[in-house]
Chain A
C-alpha cells in the first residue's frame, strides 16, 4: 500500500460511513484528497444509495455511477471555473483520479490541492471562524460565519449542519418544551433533557446516527442493514395513566393505577391521543416513533442491561410442575422503577409493548416506501417486549406487529417528538 494511503486520516475514513465497509480502496483514495475537508463525501457523487447499502448480495447498484461527462458535471457543481491549471471543464477524469484527485503520471503521485480555488479557501476561513465563535459560546457570531460558508458552497452538508447547530444555540427555547438542564448536544445544539410543559412528560434527545438495524437472530428482523436516523426526542418513560387521562379522560387500562403505564391501547387510540396532545401543546410535532427510531434509541442507550434483570426475573420464575398460572398473574410496573439506560430512557425492554408508527413490512427498512403512511390496514409495529414475555426474548431488535385497532392488555405507548427545524 502506498505511503499516502497508510497515512490516511482514520477520522476521515470513518466519515465515509457505511461505504468504507466494502469500498476500502476507494475510500482510502478519497481520504487523501481534500474532499473530506470540505465534507464532499461518497453520497455527494453517488447519491444516498440506500438500496445498494441494504443489499448484501450487491444486486442493487448505487443511485449514481457517473462516467465521462457526468463526472465533469459533478466536479463543476463546485469547481465552476474548471481546472485551475488547464481551465479544462469537460474531462476532469482524464487527468485526475476520480477518488484521490492525484496526478496520474508516473513519478508525479502528488496530491492535488485547492489552493488556487479562492472560493474553497474562503469557505475554510468562515468555517474556522465559526468554530472559534462557537468555542466562545458566541452563537450569533458562529451562525453568521457558518451562513457565510454555506453561501459559498450551498450544498455543503457540514456547513449546513453547523449553521443549524449555531441557530439552535442562539435560539435555545423550543415551543412546548421546558429545558431541565443547560446541557446541549454538541452536534445539533439541541437541549438534551426537556419536559413537555404542564404534562410532566420528560423527554431525552436521541442524537442522529447510522443504525445497523435488524438482527440475524430473529426471522422477522433480517437482513441487518444500515439506516440513517435523524435526531429526535423520545419520552424517558412509557406514558402513564395519569398522563393519558390528563389529555383524554377515558383510561383504557385493565389495571387502573395512575402510576402504571397506560395499557390496553390500540395504535388508533395512541394516534388519537397524540393528536389531542398536539392540539394542546405549542409547536406540536408529537408522534409515535418510527421503528427505526425506536431501535436506534434502544440500541444506542444499551437498553436492557438493567431492565432485563430484577423485576422481570422475579416475575418470570417458572411455576412448579402442574401448577398452572394464568395471564392475570402478570401485570405492568410503574415506569422508571428500574435503572435508566445511557440515554436516560427507562423500561425500553419489558413492562408494556410500545407502538411504533411504522407499518409492518419486510426489511430493509425504507421510510419513503410508504410504511410510514398512516393510512391503510397494514399491521403496525410494536417494540420492546411486555411484562409477560420471557426474559430471553427481550431484545431491542425483535419486531412484533398487530392490527391498528387491537387493544392487547400489554400494549402501551412512548411518545416521540420531531426536532424542530430552523
Chain B
C-alpha cells in the first residue's frame, strides 16, 4: 500500500481508501435516505476488514440509524492504525454528531461537512464550519474538510473556510474538467489535502470496458454502451478502446481509471465505493504496478472518455447524472 500525507495534517492516508456507501442491492428505506440491510451490513463489514488487512487505513462513513456501530466494531482492533473519516450527511448539528462519534470511535480522525452547490457559503454553512473548527481546536478531530460537487464551492472553501485541511470532490479521468484549472493550483498553494470521490464514476466506468462481462459481476450486463445503440455512432472509438485494452491483458479499464488518480501526485487518495470482493481486489491491484500511465492506458482512457461523453448521460445511473456536469 502507498500512503500520502493529507495536506499539512501529518496524517498519512492510504492511496486507496474505503468509501462505505450503501449498495443498491442491499438497501432499505430509512427515515432519511437509505441504510444497509442486515445482510448487506454483514457483507460490508467483511469487506472492510479485508481492506484493512490489505493496508487500507482510511474508512469514510456517515451515521444513519446506527450504522456507525458496525464500522466501530470492525476498526476497533486496528483503531490506532485506522483513520475514521466521518461526515454530516443530513441536516444535523455537527457538534452533537462529533461528540457522539468521539464516544463511539474514541476519537475522530477526519470530519467533513457536505456542501451541495452554490457560489459561496450561507450563514448556516459557516456556522457548521465554525463548530468544526472548534472541535479541531479542542482536539476532538484531527483534520477537517468538506465534500462538494461544485468547483465554485471548492474554490470558495479555500478562500473562506479557516483551517481547511482537505477537500473531497469528484475526480476521475472523464470528469477532471480541465483538471480544475482554478481550484487545484490554489489548493496546492495552501497545502490542502485532496481526496477523489467517484474515481470510477459511481461504478459506471465498468460499463465502458468491453471485457467487463468477464471481469465484473457476471449476473448483470455492464456493457450496454457496446450495444447497437452506440456502436454505429462511434466505431473508431470502440475499436480504439478494445485495441488498447487488448494490449493490456492484465488490466481492466477500472484499474487504469484508478491509476489515473493514483498517478496524480497532488491527489492524496482515491476513495471508490466498494462492496464486492472483486472490486477491492481490482482497486488494490491497480496500485501494485508503476503509477505512471502507459501510452496504451492513456489511449484507452482517452477513447473511453470520448465514448462516455458521446452518450450524453446515459452511461451514468440516473441518480449520478450530476457527474456529467463536470465534463470538460
Contacts and interface: CB of A to CB of B under 8 A. Distances in A.
A324 B32 CA distance: 9
Contacts of A390: 95-96, 99
Interface residues of A, number: 30
A318 B96 contact: yes
Contacts of B95: 388-390
Interface stretch (A85-93, A146-154, A273-281, A406-414): A406-414
A235 B95 CA distance: 29
B92 A325 contact: yes
A311 interface: no
A327 B99 contact: no
A403 B162 CA distance: 9
Contacts of B133: 400
A144 to B, nearest CB: 53
A326 B126 CA distance: 14
B72 interface: no
A329 B138 contact: no
A322 B137 contact: no
Contacts of B99: 318, 390
10 nearest A-B pairs in the assembled complex, by CB-CB distance: A324-B92, A322-B65, A326-B91, A408-B130, A324-B90, A390-B99, A393-B138, A325-B93, A321-B66, A220-B137
Interface residues of B, number: 27
Nearest to B123: A409
Contact of A327 (B30, B64, B93): B93
B64 A322 contact: yes
A61 B122 CA distance: 50
B164 to A, nearest CB: 14
B162 A402 contact: yes
B45 interface: no
Contacts of B119: none
Nearest to A403: B162
A336 B161 CA distance: 33
B100 interface: yes
B29 interface: no
Interface string A397-422: 01110110011111000000000000
Contacts of A389: 95, 134
Given A322-B31, A402-B130, 13 more contacts: A218-B139, A219-B137, A318-B99, A318-B100, A322-B30, A324-B92, A324-B93, A329-B93, A330-B93, A388-B93, A388-B95, A399-B137, A410-B127
B289 interface: no
Interface string B79-97: 0000000000011110110
Nearest to A220: B137
A183 to B, nearest CB: 38
Contacts of B93: 324-327, 329-330, 388
Contacts of B138: 218, 393, 398
